[in-house]
Amino acid sequence: MTAKLFFRAITAFAAGLLIVGLLLFLPAGTISFMNAWLLIGILFVPMFIAGIVMMIVNPDLLAKRLNAKEKQGEQKKVIALSGLMFIAAFIVAGLNFRFGWIILPVWVSYVGAGVFILAYILYAEVLRENVYLSRTIEVQEGQKVIDKGLYGIVRHPMYMATVILFLSMPLVLGSVISFVIMLFYIPLIILRIRNEEIVLKEGLEGYNEYMKKVRFRLIPFIW
């Protein structure tokens, strides 16, 4: 653990917290948007704990997770479009609360929160299984194919977890309109997966055999 890595992690965490708060509370016109507080709690508290654990146990993995600079033009577009999707979904959720367009029942928010936490646990398991995980598409030095655990079920369990996470967010916020906006993440992640597999087939030894062994990319028995 280094002071530089600690500063990067704290800065990224604080910036994320501030941005999400502004995107939710400003459109809502109030800080009494309880669904927003619920999302912030289940999103950032586990994130903070996971960051502390990685900083102590595996700082290299934390450094990889903080690196979000894509080198490929196509993936830069995917990241940019994903960012726009999040901004739109959060702003609409705040406006939905402010003007009472279509408010989902409270129990939907609680169910969404439960699904979100389960997806977070799934995501943590993926981090435990694969020390090569990076936020950018690349083949790392000494990287090996992981084919056990969740990777023995689908080829991209991290993306499976993120799809569940992202689709549960608008439910926590009580906005069906934001949920429709978040559905655009599915074609975006499909594009990212297809591009990532091209890179892995070309640069990671044994990945072609792994693709034959594990047929499904994202959803077991479907795709």
Label residue 152 by pLDDT band (50, 70, 90).
Answer: very high
CATH dotted code for 3-213: 1.20.120.1630
3-state SS class at 13:
helix
How much is the pLDDT for 142?
A: 66
State what percent of residues in the chain have pLDDT above 70.
92
- Please state the pTM of the whole predicted model: 0.89
How much is the pLDDT for 36?
A: 98
How much is the pLDDT for 26?
A: 98
Say whether pLDDT at 11 is over 70: yes
Question: Hey, what long-range contacts does 112-115 have (CB within 8 A, 24 or more apart)?
Answer: 112/168, 112/169, 112/170, 112/171, 112/172, 113/38, 113/39, 113/42, 113/168, 113/172, 115/164, 115/168, 115/171
In the chain, what are the domain boundaries? 3-213
* 178-188: average pLDDT: 96
| Per-residue pLDDT reduced to its tens digit, 80-132 | 899 999 999 999 999 999 999 999 999 999 999 999 999 999 988 988 888 77
